[in-house]
Each structure stands twice: as C-alpha cells, then as structure tokens.
A = this chain, B = another copy of it.
Amino acid sequence: MSAEAGAGDFVDRARRGWAQARPDLDVASIEVVGRIARIGALANHRTERHLAPEGLTRAEFDVLCTLARSGGPLRASEVTAATMLSGASTTKNADRLAKRGLIERLPWERDGRVVLMRLTARGEELVDQEFPRFLERDREMLAGLTLSEREQLAALLRKIALNAERPGD
C-alpha cells in the first residue's frame, strides 16, 4: 500500500504516468475501461496459448462455442455477429473448421443465399473437452473474489455492456 514505483497493476502505473505528464487531464475512466481492455487482452492471450496445442485459434474456438450453445445450425451472418469479426473472417474460419471435420455447411432451403453452419460430432467432442477447461481458467482469474463481489461486478459490467452494445455507439 506504499507509493512504491512499480506498485499496483498496469493501470495504476499508467495513471501515475499521466498524472506526471498531463496533470490537467482527468484520466479516471481508465481505472475502469483501461482495466477492462487490459484484462480482456490478458484473457485472450491465455486462451490462445492454451488452444494452440489443439491447433485451434481463439476465433475458431469461439465459432465452435457459438454453435455449441445455439442448439442447432446458425447462419454464417449470425456467427459473424456473435464473434465480432468480419464476414470474410467467418468464411475463412468456416473453411478451416470444415476442412478439419469440426463443422459442416448446409444450404438453407428457405433462402438460397444463406449458408448454415453446424457442429459435427467431432466438433461437439472438441467443445466438450475444451470448453470446461476454458471455464476453469476463467474461474482461476476470479480466484480472489467472493461470490458477492463477483455478483456486483457482473451487474456493473452488464450495465456497461448494455450501454456499449447499443447499435450506433
């Protein structure tokens, strides 16, 4: 709890830097938004590192999980919306996953422009194996927090998410 040079997390250090360099600016928002960006990046790196041995990228795993929780085939455009990547990326991820037999693409009889994506049995197995491990690593990140703290955090983050997900931000 001292004012030691490297004390605190990344954002504490950044904030001390700004306080020195630009004392006129109100940088308080980085206490929340900067930490969210930093923790998000750390979590993404960690996920990538753990999926690499399976030969999967995080984006590919994200597609598999999106399909796994949907309970049925999804349109390519629905997968695009869920993953926050471009449509072009969805095409490429689908190509790679289909080549490995983890998903299959189906036409949709109601609209010939649409491509439906569905997990294969092999894809389901991979999610059954990797998604619980993913959840366990997420839980480890929250190790120091009580249940009540997690609930507070979830509620506050939901407010921000509802705000940030509004169409024209």
Q: Which residue numbers of A lie inside 8 Å of B, CB to CB?
A: 8-12, 14, 17-18, 20-22, 25-46, 68-71, 82, 84, 131-132, 135, 138-145, 149-150, 152-154, 156-165, 169
Contacts and interface: CB of A to CB of B under 8 A. Distances in A.
Q: Which of A37, A38, A149, A165 has the largest count of B CB atoms less than 10 A from its CB?
A: A37
21 contacts: A9-B165, A10-B165, A20-B71, A21-B70, A22-B68, A25-B132, A29-B141, A30-B138, A32-B138, A33-B138, A35-B157, A36-B40, A36-B157, A39-B161, A39-B164, A40-B41, A141-B163, A144-B163, A145-B160, A149-B159, A153-B153
A135 B11 contact: no
A71 B18 CA distance: 9
A143 B84 CA distance: 23
Contact of A8 (B44, B139, B158, B163): B158
Contacts of A160: 35, 39, 141-142, 144-145
Contacts of A162: 8-9, 144
Number of copies: 2
Q: Which 7 A-B pairs have the closest CB atoms?
A: A40-B40, A17-B69, A31-B154, A29-B138, A9-B161, A35-B157, A33-B138
B44 A37 contact: yes
Contact of A29 (B44, B70, B135): B135
Nearest to A37: B40
B25 A131 contact: yes
Given A20-B69, A41-B84, 10 more contacts: A14-B69, A22-B68, A32-B138, A33-B43, A33-B142, A39-B160, A43-B164, A145-B159, A149-B156, A149-B159
